[in-house]
A = this chain, B = another copy of it.
């Protein structure tokens, strides 16, 4: 039985971790730490847990004192808040899966540039592993610190890596137009995400400036084996969950749509959470699951390929991927606790 702790357990990502771990046969959740809800029963913050979860949220000091009890620590905090906690956990021999942004970028300069903070834990950057298992599983095995990918990067990188690693598209032609549900903005009192401010409307935000851009570029550059820059535009959609990434690239050679389908199917062969779909995916088909659905279309008239990927931003884009990484770290089946079928409608 793997013993786990969660820091930041009452945000949407953290709560989804609780949801997933509470149904994971091989994991025992030792504690939930929440700054905003210290000493409050978790089932009072989220009443759906009544009868399912009896834990009371603890504070960070108590959490750190319990490090010796656990094998793995999940951190679901805003950027800039994980440095110290990660270091203490690693020193205590606890593996860390950080759902935040602090260990995703290999270049501390990029971190400073996009997040506006000095990276005060650079010595851990080289050992931190970018935890996108479909691309990176070998490095995750044996790691101590996994930087869990962002939600937009997960959808984008899974959609584009097969094309870039096979040099099928011009690496500088990539445009990612992504759409997210409101839960991506977190559970923070904020006028902009009030029901009346974002229902029945759509908007773009962070145009040409969103912090997930360098993360996407870092991983796509690795796939393309050259430094690339992408245009990335996120949008806010009136739905609770889900990301749809509509990705555009200019084909670098003539290729049939079927050939691309074959390529994607081969590239992701044996990857339990990837479904290559003949139809164009909708976010509802993956809601509540760790699955990434991918559909492909060639636009012959413009010589472009459009790859559309759909994930649940809180599962495959956060908590589910974190559990998948934990499964790999502890040599469990990658799908343990993640055999989730979307509920419709």
Closest residue of B by beta carbon distance from A192:
B189
Chain B residue with the shortest CB-CB distance to A179: B202
Which residue from B47, B199, B229, B248 sits with its C-beta under 8 Å from A279?
A: B47
Query: What chain B residues lie within 8 Å of A1 (beta carbons)?
Result: none
- Complex Cα distance, B272 from A52, in Å, reads 11
Q: Give chain B residues whose Cβ lies under 8 Å from the Cβ of A23.
A: 341
Which residues of A (167-204) have their CB < 8 Å from a CB of B?
A: 172, 175, 177, 179, 181-183, 187-191, 193-204
Contact at B204–A246, with CB atoms within 8 Å? yes
Q: Of B195, B201, B233, which one neighbours A193 at CB under 8 angstroms? A: B195
Kindly identify which residue among B47, B199, B242, B341 contacts A19, using a CB–CB cutoff of 8 Å: B341
Which residues in B have their C-beta under 8 angstroms from that of A239? Answer: 199-202, 238
Q: How far is the CA of A48 from the CA of B275 in the complex (A)?
A: 10
Count chain A residues whose beta carbon lies closer than 8 angstroms to a beta carbon of B.
83
Q: Which residues of B lie under 8 Å from residue A293 when comparing CB positions?
A: 50
Across the A-B interface, the 3 shortest Cβ-Cβ residue pairs? A201-B284, A196-B345, A203-B282
Residues of A within 8 A of B (CB): 12, 15-16, 19, 22-23, 46-52, 172, 175, 177, 179, 181-183, 187-191, 193-205, 207-208, 229-231, 233, 235, 237-242, 244, 246, 248, 275, 277, 279-289, 293, 295, 297-302, 304, 306, 308, 341-345
Could you name 6 residue pairs across A and B whose Cβ atoms are closer than 8 Å? Answer: A48-B285, A48-B342, A50-B275, A200-B200, A201-B239, A231-B302
